[in-house]
Structure 1
Amino acid sequence: MTERKKLTLKDIAKELGVSISTASRALKSHPDIAEETIRLVKEYAEKHHYVPNYLAVNFRKNKTFTIGLIVPELVHHFFSTVISGAIDEAKKQGYNILVSQSNDILADELTACQTMLGSSVDGLLISISNETMEGEHLNEFINEGRPIVQFDKITDQVKSPKVIVDDFEGAYQAVKHLIEMGYKKIAHMRGRLEVKNANDRCEGYQKALQDFGYGLNKEWVKNCVLINEKEGYDFAKELMESDNPPDAFFCITDLVAIGVMKYLKDHGFKIPSQVGVVGFSNWKLAEVVSPGLSSVEQHGYDMGKRATRLLIDLIKNHNLDSEETIQIKTKMIVRESSQMKGKNL
């Protein structure tokens, strides 16, 4: 056998004097196989660059052991942590993940879904785009016997399990924190009106103001569409140059909050002694900007793991009827950007 020939499971079994089934189970670290056999098989497979023929195995089992995963953005701290959690859980259970992004555009999401269907994934994990209002393209998976789990951004138009964070409570705690730090005029850079998690965060913002005796100033609530740094900068400029500027900002995401902070620093406002800022998602960037950005932790890695575990259970049990909702608690991460108003750091 030359090194150029593709190594098969049969080759490994013959070389080591074990059965093909023993070699297969050893590669999967099956508990019934002796540790020494597992070691020998894995070392030989690695040395000779063995690549499992998943296509043949899956054909026999009428499964691809592949899960589709569609997110709005790949280059996004929150979604990258979700993907990491999903991949780790899938790998643990013997599944692969096919990842795609919608760019927060419905047309791209439709294309990604068709690609997933064409690739015969066993099930789909999806955080819908900001433009997705209906779910016919998602129901196609269920109609073909392939379960779906929605996470983070979801639609009630699709009857499927969902894994979400408590956006309402996370926003409530963020605004409560700002009030406790002495801020009285808190603006909110919210997300799109048609997006559920954006509405939940806005409701949490409003409830905190109400509970602490602050009225809602609708002029201080700005609707972000692109949810980017430029919108944060532009809305901060509009509000801070108005006749009644706020003294704090609660933002739909950390990226919008970074835009707010950039405007404030460019125009000589001191953070946090004059203006406080809190974001949402707890990007890695929140730790390294100056001053550090307070933010609401969404636990993306845990979300990815739990959503994947739930989907694989549905696949194994052939369950297309579940509408279970798993809600993950958020955590307020306090950094310099929202410390006591009037305190010079």
Structure 2
Amino acid sequence: MTDKKKLTLKDIGKALNLSVSTVSRALKAHPDIAQETIDLVKKYAEEHHYVPNLLAINFRKNRTFNIGLIVPELVHHFFSTVISGAISEANKQGYNILVSQSNDILKDEEKASRAMLNSSVDGLLISISNETTVGEHLKEFLDEGKAVVQFDKVTEQLPTPMVIVDDFDGAYNAVSHLIEQGYQRIAHIRGRIDVKNACDRYEGYIKALEDASLPILDHLIKPCIAITEEEGYQFTKEMMEGKNPPDAIFCITDVVAFGAMKYLKEKGIAIPEEVGLVGFSNWMVSRVMSPQLTTVNQHGFQMGVEAAKLLLDMIKNQDIAYQETKILKTELIVRASSQKK
């Protein structure tokens, strides 16, 4: 005797050409769903003997009080502060957090997310890897009626709430600061061209130059792949040893800026007198470098708290269809690496 495959929300959605969230709300007769759609979904579900997943729709009786959290890197200062904030908020509400990392690799993220799903976590917090675009493996949580909240690095192709910082504004303020200090040829060692927060920072950089009527020089824009100190060093070397070198560099992260600073110091190029330098993330080590690094604070702890609050509210309200993008403001921290005046 073989078990018949259980009909899922995803199956109903596929048959009726509706999203999983619409099917879920229609079965609950949600007021935002048209009565015609509610009737259609309920009729199909009845005809095909749909049996609701009690674990998914009855959190109060079936919750594990565990939530999953996946980040690209555990040792990354920013992500460690996010984790601390999320754990703090989860513990206040009686939840535990299971933490894993993707190593910024899609296959590792898929493996980690499915391990979380198999562990019956009540929901998932995730900052996606640089290789993730669509996030089909994360939709498996939604198919099971489990809440997902994205933070920091996100994909807009996944219909979930997001907690992000205003990367555009953070970059704009950083570059505007360099301009106010008198720098004219400002380079940008940017992130990957297929990652949203990197693109937002790039756009902020471009807008600041345009508003100040400064040239956008293609040879002073270098895209990272791995976002490493080594890339910061190599790109700075290429630009400083090439024609028309920059007099300031805005880096996608503090880690990249560390590499840029290493090259400049090795070559005896005075910071900030000859070249100004600004990072992004506010790593602890940026405060003790010589010179101290100007950077943009992303408020990682607050991000972790807000993401956990959102997820836990969704779990308590049994509403995986809830969507909101919460944008946190950044803070420019001016230090010696860019301050000439």
TM-score range, shorter chain: 0.7 to 0.9
Give the structure 2 partner of residue 121 of structure 1. 121
Alignment of 1:7-86 (within 5 A): 61-86=61-86
Deviation at 1:61, TM superposition (A): 2.9
Partners of 2:77 and 2:59 in 1: CA distance: 36
1:243 is displaced (CA, Å) by 1.4
Alignment CA distance shift 1:213-1:148 (3 Å): same
- Partners of 1:327 and 1:183 in 2: CA distance: 30
Superposed CA offset, 1:158-212 (max 9, x none): 0000000000000000000000011110000000010000000000000000000
SS at match of 1:84: helix
CA distance, structure 1, for counterparts of residue 59 and residue 162 of structure 2: 30
Instruction: Compute the TM-score of the two structures, normalised by the length of structure 1.
Output: 0.81
Q: Secondary structure at the match of 1:142?
A: helix
* Amino acid corresponding to residue 203 of structure 2 in structure 1: E
1:194 aligns with 2:194: yes
Normalising to structure 2: TM-score of the pair? 0.82
Residue equivalent to 1:178 = 178
Quote how far apart the aligned CAs of 1:263 are. 0.1
Instruction: Determine if the alignment matches structure 1 residue 264 to structure 2 residue 270.
Output: no
Letter aligned with residue 91 of structure 1: N
Residue of structure 2 in register with 1:255 after alignment: 255
Q: Distance in 2 between matches of 1:60 and 1:117?
A: 18
| Same amino acid, percent of matched pairs | 65
Query: What are the residue-to-residue correspondences of 1:297-316 with 2, within 5 Å?
Result: 297-316=297-316
Give the drift of 1:107. Answer: 0.4
Rounded to whole Å, the distance in 1 between the matches of 2:143 and 2:61 is 21
Residue identity opposite 1:246 in structure 2:
P
Residues 75-106 of structure 1, C-alpha deviation per residue, up to 9 Å, x if partnerless? 01000000000000000000000000000000
Asked whether the 8 Å contact 2:303–2:328 carries over to 1, the reply is: yes
Matched AA of 2:141 = F
Q: Distance in 2 between matches of 1:156 and 1:139?
A: 13
Contact 2:59 2:316 in 1 (8 A): no
- Counterpart residue number, 1:333: 333
Superposition map of 1:151-300 within 5 A: 151-300=151-300
Task: Summarize the Cα distance change of 1:105–1:291 in structure 2 as closer, same or farther, 3 Å threshold.
Answer: same
Give the match for residue 14 of structure 1.
none
* Counterpart residue number, 1:35: none
**Superposed displacement of residue 60, structure 1:** 8.8
Runs of 5+ consecutive residues of structure 2 not aligned to the other structure: 1-57
Q: CA deviation at 1:215?
A: 1.6
CA positional deviation for 1:315 = 0.2
Deviations 1:275-319 (A, max 9, x none): 000000001011011100000000000000000001000000001
Q: Distance in 2 between matches of 1:212 and 1:244?
A: 19
Separation (CA, whole Å) in 2 of partners of 1:85 and 1:60: 24
Secondary structure, counterpart of 1:202 in structure 2: helix
CA-CA distance at 1:128 after TM superposition:
0.1
Q: What secondary structure is seen at the aligned counterpart in 2 of 1:336?
A: coil
Cα deviations by residue, 1:315-342 (Å, 9 ceiling, x for unpaired): 00001111200000000000000011xx
Determine helix, strand or coil for the equivalent of 2:98: strand
Structure with the greater alpha carbon radius of gyration = 1
- Alpha-carbon shift at residue 59 of structure 1 (Å): 11
Show the 5 A alignment for 1:65-144: 65-144=65-144
Where 2:337 maps in the other structure, the secondary structure is: helix
Q: Which SS does the other structure have where 2:303 is aligned?
A: helix
Unpaired runs of 5+ residues, structure 1, are 1-57
* Counterpart in the other structure of 2:146: 146
Assess, with a 3 A threshold, how the Cα gap between structure 1 residues 59 and 163 changes in structure 2: closer, same or farther. Answer: closer
Query: May I ask how many residue pairs the two structures share in their alignment?
Result: 284
- Please state how far the C-alpha of 1:157 moved relative to its aligned partner: 1.0
CA distance in 1 between counterparts of 2:305 and 2:59 reads: 26
Q: Which amino acid aligns with 1:112?
A: A
State the 4+ residue runs in structure 1 displaced beyond 2 angstroms.
58-61
One-letter code of the match for 1:124? Answer: L
CA distance in 2, matches of 1:212, 1:163: 31
**Counterpart-to-counterpart distance in 2, 1:194 and 1:60:** 40
Aligned equivalents of 2:217, 2:298: Cα separation in 1: 27
Counterpart residue type for residue 127 of structure 2: S
Alpha-carbon distance change, 296 to 59 in structure 1, aligned in 2, over 3 angstroms: closer
Q: 1:222 corresponds to which letter in structure 2? A: K
